[in-house]
Structure 1
Amino acid sequence: MRYLGSYAGKLALAEVAGHRLEGRSLIADIDSARTRFGDRAAVLVETVMLRRKAAAKFTDTAKFADTSDWLFTDEALQQATAGPVAEHRARRLAGATVHDATCSIGTELAALQHSAGFVLGSDIDPVRLAMARQNVAGVPLCRADALRPVTADAVVVVDPARRSGSRRRFDPRAYLPPLDRLLDVLGEREYVVKCAPGVDFAALRQLGFDGEVEVTSLAGSVREACLWSPGLADAGVGRRATLLDSKEEITDALPDDCPVAPVGRWIVDPNGAVVRAGLVRHYAVRHGLWQLDPDIAYLSGDTLPDGVRGFEVLEQLAFSERHLRGALSVRGVGAVEILVRGVDVDPDALRSRLRLRGSAQLSVVVTRLGSGAASRATAFICRPSR
């Protein structure tokens, strides 16, 4: 660690970075580094390769720090918040005094230092703390346990560990530090706590949390659920979906009087953050859409919202593999994207069994409509907007 941050270590890293370290040259490049730097070759090669992975995760935003000379561990890089997500959180904390109590290698600090009134970091892991000292030079740091805050009036940001090796921790009480103990410690403070995207909202309420749950998506996938203490939440907001790709936010303070009606020209599969936050109806009202079924997240409309990928309905039929295969064959379909909600169908397995031959490419939306005895599986053959 000390060597990597030294002048000699930086020169060695620059030399190793000159190698491709991929494909056919990987073994030869590692041998070259081992010949040149002996036992230190492994950590040099690992650091260079981690920096390359980090480039896509962090440096695709305008304000985020240049991470080309950062230090990482593989686990810390995997756990680190993506640059755009960290920057979004920092914007919500603009002007505040913020204490990142699990600062790790410094990802959140790098975003916060551009917008917070004052920011400091702490972590219980001395190795990650040492990396943060190089990565975010100038930000005050100290070693401390997140369950024993060393600040009094700052907003506390905490990112509990949600993995044990390669296994995910689904129970928030199994986080490190445990979420129930965190909420007890931070009960009288303003705080922001990151959670797994699939965290059980009912379990959060059972733990006494009564603030805002924000579910954030980036590049089409849900990245995290974030707990905002009541004093940091907007009035009347308990759930929020933040779509960073489209710069849109949907909250449960918006109207949700969404009708249920037969399919229109388009089917829309809402962003995962909207679905996860339970805001499908609110999203539908904002965009003039309606539900195909009150318990299914698919929406429909005669006009496709700007910037949203949709599926133009060409044909509707009762779902069966035989009927679907025939309808696709008539259209000369050879490649098909299959989306499923509310029906026990494996899209990949279904695609294989359809045995399609043709040159056209279309999409199929399979879903359940109705409930009880009136419930029926339905397939929509569609043309995707993009």
Structure 2
Amino acid sequence: MPYAFSLDDVAFLRSEQGERAVAACAELPLTDATRIADVGTARRLVGERYAAALETVVLRRKAVSKLAGLPGADRWLFTGDALQQASAAPVAAVRARRLAGRDVHDVTCSIGADLVALAGAAARCVGSDVDEVRLAMAAHNSARSGVSPLLVRADALRPVTRNCVVVADPARRDSSGRRTWRPEDFVPALDELARACAGRDLVVKCAPGLDPAAVPWAREVELVSLDGQVREACLWSEGLATVGRRATVLRSDGTQWTVTDAEPDDVPVGEPGEWIVDPDGAVVRAGLVRHYAARHGLWQLDERIAYLTGDEPPPGVRAFRVLEFENYSEKALRATLRRHDIGRVEILVRGLDIDPNTLRRRLKPKGSGEASVVLTRIGRTPTSFLCRAERP
């Protein structure tokens, strides 16, 4: 069970004594093998607040990659659940830039991951939450990051501001802690939040698997990925939407690009080219595969499959140079791998009911080379592509 922080814990952790306690515990390895010894050492060094100090060290270590580059984040305070739901710093920054210069109210500010980004871009920024512990942590984290939003304890369904853009990140776990995908089970529920914010500009971060039909008030659905992993869907209301669907693709090195449904999507279906391109997950989930293909001069292998093909892949994208292709059968693929002396194989699948890990075990590839195998369906024909992954 995750540690349940109290207000007294937060007050201690924010004090000089608490900072010294966390610094002392940060020297401990905190591995499974050393856990019992580390707890004993922490008790001796810290006293009765040892558990809060240890949990803080553990959570700060987990937060490093998510909050990389955010000023002062190495001194932030978290709860386990709040850290898990917190936006990664690059994702929060993109959302904040779209709201630059506006008055913004983060009505579910939690420990402040989005709030800090918003406060750095907004004209004025308010953060609120019903959880006193998280609100106290948000105050600490904001100060550490050099921003000072107004913080108040308030229910997201009972507005305490006017003329602000409302930003919300509803909790997406049920009472047992299991992840939920139903908007009515979010806290606050999406339909209740939309009613409470009727007539106001509203931005809601939610799970990428959300069915857009469940949120008819959202005029733009933005899917956001970071380093190839789809992180979230962001819903934008009437006054903020600029397109119907958007995919935003981010990299930790600071590069980013977007594609929207306002762009052309007239692409053909044709024979395999020199390359296979597997579009970023945000593009696929946003339903923008054809728009992405049109932008880069690619075409589809099959109109119902997300794999694209062409004679030149988009710059900087990991793509698959086609060495040969054939109608798929396990026997034929095994022979192809053997003929090319392939011992290490990456298997990608779309449109076929094949588990890559199970197939790899059955193939038992033996050889000195490596390759990527793309399995898909062209029309009704299962097809296998032997490829070499490259990043031109």
State the TM-score, normalized to the length of structure 2.
Answer: 0.93
CA displacement at 1:223 relative to structure 2:
0.3
Separation in structure 1 between the aligned mates of residue 206 and residue 49 of structure 2, nearest angstrom: 36
CA displacement at 1:219 relative to structure 2:
1.3
Q: Which residue pairs with 2:5 in the alignment?
A: none
Q: Which residue pairs with 1:76 in the alignment?
A: 82
CA displacement at 1:36 relative to structure 2:
2.2
Separation in structure 1 between the aligned mates of residue 65 and residue 239 of structure 2, nearest angstrom: 34
**What amino acid sits opposite 1:73 in the alignment?**
T
CA displacement at 1:25 relative to structure 2:
4.3
**What amino acid sits opposite 1:48 in the alignment?**
V
Separation in structure 2 between the aligned mates of residue 22 and residue 210 of structure 1, nearest angstrom: 45
**What amino acid sits opposite 1:88 in the alignment?**
V
CA displacement at 1:202 relative to structure 2:
2.2
Q: Secondary structure at the match of 1:259?
A: coil
Residues 37-46 or 302-311, more deviating: 37-46
Q: Which residue pairs with 1:222 in the alignment?
A: 230
Q: Which residue pairs with 1:169 in the alignment?
A: 180
Separation in structure 1 between the aligned mates of residue 20 and residue 365 of structure 2, nearest angstrom: 56
The answer to whether the 8 A contact 1:101-1:121 is kept is yes
CA displacement at 1:3 relative to structure 2:
1.5
Separation in structure 1 between the aligned mates of residue 214 and residue 165 of structure 2, nearest angstrom: 24
Deviations along 1:294-339, one digit per CA (max 9) or x if unpaired, are 0000000101110111001111111110010001110001111011
2:386 paired residue among 366, 373, 381? 381
The answer to whether the 8 A contact 1:65-1:111 is kept is no
The answer to whether the 8 A contact 1:65-1:110 is kept is no
Matched, 1:194 2:205: yes
Gaps of 5+ in 2: 1-8
Q: Which residue pairs with 1:213 in the alignment?
A: 221
Q: Secondary structure at the match of 1:56?
A: coil
Separation in structure 1 between the aligned mates of residue 163 and residue 228 of structure 2, nearest angstrom: 36
Separation in structure 2 between the aligned mates of residue 183 and residue 262 of structure 1, nearest angstrom: 47
CA displacement at 1:21 relative to structure 2:
2.5
Separation in structure 2 between the aligned mates of residue 163 and residue 262 of structure 1, nearest angstrom: 45
Deviations along 1:70-117, one digit per CA (max 9) or x if unpaired, are 111111111111100001111111111000000000111111121111
Aligned residues: 374
1:231 paired residue among 239, 250, 253? 239
CA displacement at 1:23 relative to structure 2:
6.3
Q: Secondary structure at the match of 1:102?
A: coil
CA displacement at 1:27 relative to structure 2:
3.6
Deviations along 1:37-89, one digit per CA (max 9) or x if unpaired, are 23321111111111121121102x3xx33212211111111111110000111
**What amino acid sits opposite 2:335 in the alignment?**
G
Deviations along 1:168-189, one digit per CA (max 9) or x if unpaired, are 1111111111011111222200
Matched, 1:103 2:109: yes
Q: Secondary structure at the match of 2:74?
A: coil
User: Which 4+ residue blocks in structure 1 deviate beyond 4 angstroms?
Assistant: 23-26
Q: Which residue pairs with 1:322 in the alignment?
A: 331
2:191 paired residue among 180, 185, 195? 180
Q: Secondary structure at the match of 2:239?
A: helix
Distance 1:23 1:167, change over 3 A: closer
Deviations along 1:140-181, one digit per CA (max 9) or x if unpaired, are 101111011111100000000112354211111111110111
Q: Which residue pairs with 1:158 in the alignment?
A: 168
Separation in structure 2 between the aligned mates of residue 27 and residue 262 of structure 1, nearest angstrom: 61
2:130 paired residue among 121, 124, 128? 124
Separation in structure 2 between the aligned mates of residue 48 and residue 342 of structure 1, nearest angstrom: 44
CA displacement at 1:29 relative to structure 2:
2.8
Deviations along 1:268-300, one digit per CA (max 9) or x if unpaired, are 000000000000000000011000000000000
Separation in structure 2 between the aligned mates of residue 210 and residue 222 of structure 1, nearest angstrom: 19
Identity %: 56
Equivalences for 1:16-27 in 2 at 5 Å? 16-22=25-31, 24-27=33-36
CA displacement at 1:26 relative to structure 2:
4.2
**What amino acid sits opposite 1:68 in the alignment?**
D
CA displacement at 1:356 relative to structure 2:
0.9
The answer to whether the 8 A contact 1:274-1:280 is kept is yes
Separation in structure 2 between the aligned mates of residue 195 and residue 15 of structure 1, nearest angstrom: 37
**What amino acid sits opposite 1:118 in the alignment?**
R
Separation in structure 2 between the aligned mates of residue 166 and residue 368 of structure 1, nearest angstrom: 39
**What amino acid sits opposite 2:196 in the alignment?**
V
**What amino acid sits opposite 1:219 in the alignment?**
D
| RMSD between superposed Cα atoms in Å | 1.3
The answer to whether the 8 A contact 2:298-2:310 is kept is yes
Equivalences for 1:1-386 in 2 at 5 Å? 1=9, 2-22=11-31, 24-59=33-68, 61=69, 64-137=70-143, 138-164=148-174, 165-204=176-215, 208-234=216-242, 237-245=243-251, 246-370=255-379, 375-386=380-391
**What amino acid sits opposite 1:319 in the alignment?**
Y
Separation in structure 2 between the aligned mates of residue 196 and residue 334 of structure 1, nearest angstrom: 38
Q: Which residue pairs with 2:4 in the alignment?
A: none
Separation in structure 2 between the aligned mates of residue 168 and residue 216 of structure 1, nearest angstrom: 19
Q: Secondary structure at the match of 1:230?
A: coil
The answer to whether the 8 A contact 1:109-1:121 is kept is yes
Separation in structure 2 between the aligned mates of residue 261 and residue 306 of structure 1, nearest angstrom: 22
Gaps of 5+ in 1: none
